[in-house]
C-alpha cells in the first residue's frame, strides 16, 4: 500500500501510467482505490499520473490540530512530489479544491509546475460561493450524507444527465462517496475552501495555465473562473458553454479531453 509520511500525516497515493510526471486531483473525493478510470481518457497512456487521498479521506489520515487550508494541501502535494523526486509536472486541478491547491503549488514551488490546468475554481470565495460551501457542510452534518449528496449532485450535473443517471450518482458508492461517514473531514474541506484567497499572488504564478470555464456551472462557473484567467500573466481560457460543474457524458468528456491534451501537448 503506497503510503508516505508527508507534512505531518500519512498520505496515500498511487501512480498510474508511464511518461512525464503529472498530478491529477479533483474535488472532495478521490481517484484512488480503483477509481482511476475517472481520469481523462488517455491520461495514463501519456503521463506517470499521481493521484492521492486528501487528508481525512480514503487511507490518508489528518491532524485536526492543524488549521485546514488550501496551502496545507499544497504543502502535502509538494512534499509528496519531493518524496517521489518528481519535478516540472503537468498539474491538472479540477472541480474545486484541486484547482485551488494547484495555484498554491505554483506559487510556492514554481520548479514543480511545468504547466497547470484549472477548472471549477476560484481566486477567493465570494459571498455566494461561501454560502453554498457552508450549506454543503451544514447539510451533511445536520441532515446526513444522502441529503448532502442529492443536493450537491443536483447542482453539479446538467439536468438531462442527472435525470438519466440519478440511480448511479446517488447512494453509497456514488458521487462524493469518500465523504460518507466523514463529517469532520468534510467540514475541514469547507474550511480550507472558504479561506482560499490567491488574489495577492496571481501575478507571481509564472506557469502556463489553461483555465476552463464551464458555462452551465452554477457553483464555480465563469463568475469565479474568469478572474483567474484575467489575473494570471500566462493564462489562456477556453469556455465549454454547455458543461456544468462536473464534466459528464461521452460527448462532453471527448470535448474536454481534446482541450486538455491539446494544452498539455503544447507544453
State residue 1's pLDDT score. 59
Cβ-in-10-Å burial (0-12, 13-18, 19+) of 132 comes to: middle
Residues in a beta bridge with 197: 124
Q: Does the residue 182 lie in any domain?
A: no
State residue 71's pLDDT score. 98
Q: Does the residue 128 lie in any domain?
A: no
Query: For residue 247, what are the domain limits?
Result: 3-123+197-265
Q: Does the residue 152 lie in any domain?
A: no
Exposed e or buried b for every residue in 149-166, given b needs 16+ CB within 10 A? bbbbbebbbbeebbeebe
Q: Does the residue 16 lie in any domain?
A: yes
Instruction: Kindly report the pTM of this predicted structure.
Output: 0.97
Three-state DSSP state, 203:
helix
Low-confidence ranges of the chain (pLDDT < 50): none
Total domain count, the chain? 1
State residue 204's pLDDT score. 96
Strands of 184-249, DSSP E: 209-214, 235-240
State the Cα–Cα distance between residues 198 and 201, nearest whole angstrom: 5
The CATH number covering residue 39 comes to: 3.40.50.1820
Q: Does the residue 21 lie in any domain?
A: yes
Q: Does the residue 203 lie in any domain?
A: yes
The alpha carbon of 110 is separated from its chain's Cα centroid by a whole number of angstroms, namely 19
Q: Does the residue 93 lie in any domain?
A: yes
Q: Does the residue 43 lie in any domain?
A: yes
State residue 235's pLDDT score. 98
Residues in a beta bridge with 238: 212
Amino acid at each position: 500500500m503506497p503510503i508516505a509520511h508527508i507534512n505531518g500525516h500519512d498520505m496515500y497515493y498511487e501512480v498510474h501510467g508511464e511518461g512525464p510526471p503529472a498530478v491529477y486531483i479533483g474535488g472532495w473525493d478521490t481517484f484512488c482505490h480503483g477509481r482511476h478510470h475517472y481520469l481523462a481518457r488517455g491520461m495514463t497512456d501519456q503521463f506517470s499520473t499521481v493521484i492521492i487521498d486528501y487528508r481525512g479521506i480514503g487511507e490518508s489520515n489528518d491532524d485536526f490540530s492543524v488549521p485546514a487550508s488550501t496551502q496545507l494541501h499544497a504543502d502535502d502535494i509538494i512534499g509528496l512530489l519531493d518524496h517521489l523526486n518528481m519535478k516540472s509536472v503537468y498539474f491538472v486541478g479540477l472541480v474545486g479544491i484541486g484547482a485551488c491547491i494547484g495555484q498554491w503549488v505554483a506559487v510556492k514551488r514554481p520548479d514543480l509546475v511545468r504547466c497547470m490546468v484549472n477548472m471549477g475554481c476560484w481566486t477567493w470565495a465570494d459571498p455566494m460561493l461561501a454560502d453554498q460551501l457552508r450549506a454543503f457542510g451544514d447539510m451533511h452534518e445536520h441532515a446526513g450524507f444522502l441529503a448532502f449528496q442529492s443536493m450537491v449532485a443536483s447542482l453539479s450535473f446538467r439536468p438531462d444527465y442527472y435525470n438519466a443517471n440519478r440511480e448511479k450518482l446517488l447512494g453509497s458508492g456514488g458521487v462524493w462517496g469518500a465523504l460518507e461517514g466523514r463529517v469532520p473531514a468534510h467540514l475541514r474541506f469547507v474550511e480550507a475552501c472558504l479561506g482560499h484567497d490567491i488574489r495577492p499572488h496571481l501575478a507571481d504564478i509564472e506557469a502556463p495555465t489553461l483555465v476552463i470555464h464551464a458555462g452551465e456551472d452554477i457553483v464555480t462557473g465563469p463568475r469565479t473562473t474568469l478572474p483567474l484567467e484575467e489575473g494570471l500573466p500566462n493564462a489562456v481560457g477556453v469556455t465549454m458553454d454547455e458543461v456544468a460543474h462536473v464534466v459528464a457524458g461521452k460527448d462532453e468528456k471527448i470535448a474536454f479531453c481534446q482541450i486538455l491534451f491539446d494544452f498539455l501537448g503544447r507544453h
